[in-house]
Structure 1
């Protein structure tokens, strides 16, 4: 199982390449606490293969998460709806204090489950070591940059990230057009 940190380096390079190719597209958008959805371009569900559809997109409420803030979460994905085509963010445990903004240091714990197979791919909880990042510095995938904007210390947040805001065409253990489901705990904001 590869660490998110390794993914981040590749994603930062891909993001930089995409940004140069897109001539300055702006991904900056705020995220309010609670449930929100953010537009993203639609992804083809598979490479050259027809996909089965359930007729409705899943919501944050369709994802079952057990465990409170600080505990290693158990994430169960539904099998009766399709992955969302836009970023979904929902606070499962409310935090307190000012919301995080670009340029601030965050210390995060996370667990990642891939939509296509419902399996855990990575977890800082399993390693027992939170993950540091600077919000807005391009160190993480766009789904984290957007989905963690405004997060408060002590928040457990569910992020459902479509491929365009994740790893797109895949790589480093992520399948092409994969939807990612993260449960994140904001351990600290600031140094």
Structure 2
């Protein structure tokens, strides 16, 4: 009798497992690049003058495409350098928002979603449309 019960149970188990087309996927621990929110992380606090809207500042920066698979989410680097600008003008909105409140000597990581970056147009050839960006920015001076 036990052998019959075991055989019936095994038959039910096998029939329940076959033929389906369902697939399982592992849950992603990282959001898709297009859905990452704007964020700032201070890597080093500054102690000098503060960057505010309308002030001329000098920064050193590096920019990467956001990647869910790369270390620190830094995909391909698309730019780096030093330049000056007036906070609130002349740069993408997310860059201005990212430096606002920084103090000279500080370094900040800024994650910029497409709507605060280059949007659907991108900035070819380095930055595709709808790209999320990561910048590391050091505030060098505030005028």
The equivalent of 2:53 in structure 1 is 102
CA distance in 2, matches of 1:111, 1:171: 16
CA distance in 2, matches of 1:184, 1:55: 26
CA distance in 2, matches of 1:171, 1:133: 19
Structure 2 gaps, min length 5: 1-26
Aligned residues: 109
Alignment of 1:55-66 (within 5 A): 55-57=29-31
- CA-CA distance at 1:56 after TM superposition: 4.1
CA distance in 2, matches of 1:152, 1:103: 15
Q: Partner of 2:58: helix, strand, or coil?
A: strand
Instruction: Name segments (4+ residues, structure 1) moved above 2 Å.
Output: 82-85
TM-score, with normalisation over the residues of structure 2? 0.69
CA distance in 1, matches of 2:54, 2:124: 27
The equivalent of 1:54 in structure 2 is 28
Larger Rg: 2
Note the alpha carbon deviations across 1:67-105, whole angstroms, 9 max, x for none.
xxxxxxxxxxxxxxx445321101101101342111111
Work out whether 1:119 is the aligned partner of 2:119. Answer: no
Work out whether 1:139 is the aligned partner of 2:113. Answer: no
TM-score, with normalisation over the residues of structure 1? 0.53
